[in-house]
Structure 1
Amino acid sequence: MKQTQTDPNIPIIYEDEHLLIIEKPAGVLSQKDHTGDPDVLTLCKQYLSRSQNNPFLGLIHRLDRPVSGLMLLAKNRNAANNLSKQVRDRTIQKTYWAITAGSPPRNGVLTHRLYKNSDTNIVEVVPSNQEKGKRAELSFAKLEESDNLHLLSVHLQTGRPHQIRVQLAHEGYPIWGDYKYGQNQPDGRTMALRAVELVFKHPHTAQHVQFELAPPSEHPWTQFSIAHQ
């Protein structure tokens, strides 16, 4: 598989004149923040700058630092505008796999009102009658159980900060390794939440395209047979 040849290295899933789709490693920022740690946007620009001067690269969506998986970037402004509209119109389909504790049902739809404290970078569920916060909705289906852990397929109907992590934890199904909202684990900068599928219209051809990504061959993903067929 082609890679960015940066530090850290980022696998490239697909690239053409308009798109760059990568596999974000867990622990890497989506974009630069106050820490100065490596981020996807900067590293991918470094990669593109080897073949073009001052490359354009638009970040279409973000993944939390501990989350791995598919990320979509635009290589020109027209593509960025087109894909950003698809995000606003909620026509880009994103599927995540999450490994949780607790006892989630076989499937469900979760609707909450979420409020993000910008000072602490913590998101919380607030009463539905409060003005602060934004509506958040997701659906999930349980794929498999193993040793008191549950593999869920999660689909977002809205895209709120930390949404999957907060909603699942609020219902009693915290994500494995989530040091912020879930189990009392040290900050390992990795947890069992992964973006595994993207479906959208190509910004130039208007054809529907689909990309899928397998889970990593590491604990706790290796506990589940469906993840490594």
Structure 2
Amino acid sequence: MNKITSNKKNLQVLFEDNHIIVINKRAGDIVQGDKTGDKPLSDIVKEYIKDKYNKPGNVYLGVVHRLDRPTTGIVLFAKTSKALPRLNKLFSEKKAHKTYWAITEQPKKENDSLIHWLKKNTKTNKSTAHKKEIEGSKKAILHYKLLKKLNKYSLLEINLETGRHHQIRCQLSTIGAIIKGDLKYGAKRSNKDASIHLHARKLEFIHPVKKIPIVIIAPLPLDNLWQACKN
């Protein structure tokens, strides 16, 4: 296993101003602290801010949204208590638009909209997809399109209408378009760095304070398969 997780010196900052900071998350980073006790990305970003601006005392940082540990791509944080509730409102009202890229096994259709009811199992930390609503399930909707055919895989672009637990991983797996490296959802083998080939590629939103449009695109990871998707 060859993980290159973030630290305050190698942090990939995509955008930063007085109110927000956007990071290109590496596979293996956890956004917030969990039961593993591993240092979360939020703490690393605080260290980066403290060092860069010579800040005394505690650094404020608000977590707006999360990405699964093995995924890569855009994570947005609030640097001020003014920005955080406004960003939370943008996300809850679905006014922040996220676009994902995934390298998957070949789907039967090049473009499709998927509707399932997902139920999360907290013991296994896994979701299952159902065609009809069952007790404890939540409706999940996503849209995907084929961007490029690779030798054994497909590059898909995914847009979510809902934000459910492991939604992209679970729904794509259900139609046989299993994400490369995603053992939890049916991949035959893992990736060497314990990543899965799911990348939060683009984020579009209105700045919470300046009220101007912001568009962020996260560079792809450096492995050969991702790099083959560049053009």
What TM-score comes out, normalization by structure 2 length? 0.90
Partner of 2:92: 88
- 1:213 and 2:218 matched: yes
Cα distance, 1:178 vs structure 2: 0.7
Question: Partner amino acid for 2:158?
Answer: V
Show the counterpart of 2:189.
185
Larger deviation, residues 18-27 vs 208-217: 208-217
Describe the SS at the equivalent of 2:164.
coil
1:173-202 CA deviation, whole Å, 9 max, x = no partner? 000111211312247420111011000010
Q: Structure 1 stretches of 5 or more lacking a match?
A: none
Residues of 2 paired with 1:96 and 1:78: CA distance?
A: 28
Q: After the TM superposition, which residues 60-71 of structure 1 pair with which residues of structure 2 at under 5 Å, given as runs?
A: 60-71=64-75
- Whole-Å separation in 2 of the counterparts to 1:84 and 1:38: 24
Paired residue type of 2:228? Q
- State the alpha-carbon separation in 2 of the partners of residues 182 and 9 from structure 1: 32
Say yes or no: does 1:142 pair with 2:142. Answer: no
Aligned to 2:169: 165
Could you tell me how far apart the structure 2 residues matched to 1:219 and 1:76 are?
38
Residue by residue, what CA displacement relative to the aligned partner does 1:37-91 show, whole Å, maximum 9, x if unpaired?
Answer: 2321111112223332211111111110010011100011221100100111001
Aligned ranges for residues 99-110 of structure 1 at < 5 Å? 99-110=103-114
SS of the residue corresponding to residue 224 of structure 2 reads coil
Task: Give 3-state SS (helix, strand or coil) of 1:140's partner.
Answer: strand
C-alpha displacement of 1:160: 1.1
| 1:119 paired residue number | 123
- Partner secondary structure for residue 77 of structure 1: coil
Instruction: Calculate the TM-score normalised by the size of structure 1.
Output: 0.91
Tell me the SS of whatever aligns to 1:80: helix
Flag the 1:131–1:144 CA change in 2: closer, same or farther, 3 A: same
Matched, 1:59 2:59: no
Partner of 1:30: 31
CA distance in 2 between partners of 1:30 and 1:199 (Å): 20
Report the 3-state secondary structure (helix = DSSP H, G, I; strand = E; otherwise coil) of the residue aligned with 1:216: coil
Q: Which amino acid aligns with 1:143?
A: L
* Percent identical: 35
Alpha-carbon offset, residue 9 of structure 1: 2.8
Name the SS of the counterpart of 2:184 in structure 1.
Answer: coil
Residue 8 of structure 1 deviates from its aligned partner by 7.5
